[in-house]
């Protein structure tokens, strides 16, 4: 294992200290509870937005804390859910009287622990909490970590769009309904060229030969739909786009946000090459790309690979997408 670390057990806590040191103008970090907060949270009258999950998917979620996105993010150990006490502390801290929305990826530990935290916060402080669970991965119905579909790339788009709505002062139920709308209209699928190595494990999560790829992989290294011989980018793009388009389904005349996400170890030159293939497939299908996002946003440590997310949008979703955002991982208009 070759990684830029000290001790495997200290990776998360030391990374959070680095994040706090790098962004003191935007963030504050509760190191005891491993919670990243927006520096000016809580904000009176604003719905608080909280997400979180296992570390190793950076910049998700701590990198999306700030103006126009999250108010707090709870960091678990690598690929391990945060505990309810973390989530309860974050919920109580960002409640400024307008309630709190939990944004939860559909992994069993995350769902269970966020539910417990919501109940505890309501009982202890009377906080009104609503939740949305993202489950946009079309690759498999169930995986090692989930009952039902995994929550993946749509989570990034949802946090941005819902974050803009909360920034405008929209009420909790309206923000929650918007989050559900985004989740219902988004689909994703990913693939891997290599495994990743969890620091505490010290060895790759799975074995993948140099001439193989895994199609439908999860962000924790869960197996995908099938293991296949390595193929040209245009064929890989079709393997990802076709199941996504057919699942919703997306139809000729639809407008989408097209998100080409890197899994952590794929350079931008390859992600843009892949985006070009995806854009051509969408054009041939009569699907208009209203906005695009290309880069490493929901990763799996140093895994090489990518995922495609399509979100069907209307004018209101595009307006909220374009609204100012200022976080370590995403910034425009501010």
Catalytic machinery residues = 57, 220
Element (H, E) at 90: helix 84-94
- Cα separation, 36 vs 27, whole angstroms: 7
Distance CA 134, CA 217 (A): 17
Distance of alpha carbon 195 from alpha carbon 203, whole angstroms: 10
User: What angle do helix axes 172-184 and 154-167 make, rounded to 10 degrees?
Assistant: 150
Tokens standing for residue 188: 């994703």
SS (HEC) of 109-135: HHHHHHHHHHHHHHHHHCCCEEEEEEC
**Using the 8-state DSSP alphabet, how is residue 197 labeled?**
B
Tell me the two tokens of residue 3. Answer: 């990684």
């Amino acid at each position: 294992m070759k990684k830029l670390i000290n001790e495997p057990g200290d990776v998360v806590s030391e990374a959070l200290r680095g994040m706090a040191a790098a962004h003191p103008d935007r963030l504050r970090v509760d190191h005891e509870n491993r919670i990243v907060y927006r520096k000016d949270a809580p904000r009176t009258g604003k719905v608080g937005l909280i997400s979180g999950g296992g570390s190793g998917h950076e910049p998700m979620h701590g990198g999306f804390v700030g103006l126009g996105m999250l108010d707090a993010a709870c960091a678990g150990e690598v690929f391990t859910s945060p505990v309810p006490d973390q989530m309860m502390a974050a919920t109580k801290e960002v409640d400024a009287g307008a309630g709190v929305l939990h944004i939860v990826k559909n992994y069993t530990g995350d769902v269970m622990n966020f539910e417990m935290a919501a109940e505890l916060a309501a009982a202890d402080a009377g906080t009104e909490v609503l939740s949305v669970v993202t489950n946009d991965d079309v690759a498999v119905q169930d995986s090692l970590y989930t009952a039902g579909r995994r929550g993946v790339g749509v989570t990034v788009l949802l946090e941005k769009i819902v974050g803009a709505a909360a920034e405008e002062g929209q009420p909790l139920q309206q923000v929650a309904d918007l989050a559900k709308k985004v989740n219902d209209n988004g689909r994703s699928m990913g693939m891997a060229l290599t495994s990743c190595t969890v620091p505490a494990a010290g060895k790759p999560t799975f074995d993948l030969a140099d001439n193989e790829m895994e199609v439908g992989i999860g962000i924790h290294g869960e197996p995908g739909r099938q293991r296949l011989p390595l193929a040209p980018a245009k064929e890989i793009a079709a393997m990802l786009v076709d199941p996504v388009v057919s699942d919703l389904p997306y139809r000729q005349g639809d407008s989408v946000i097209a998100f080409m996400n890197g899994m952590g170890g794929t350079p931008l030159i390859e992600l843009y090459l892949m985006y070009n293939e995806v854009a051509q497939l969408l054009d041939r299908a009569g699907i208009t790309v209203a906005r695009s996002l290309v880069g490493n946003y929901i990763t799996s440590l140093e895994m090489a690979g990518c995922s495609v997310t399509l979100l069907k949008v209307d004018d209101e979703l595009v307006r909220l997408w374009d609204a100012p955002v200022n976080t370590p991982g995403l910034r425009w208009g501010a």
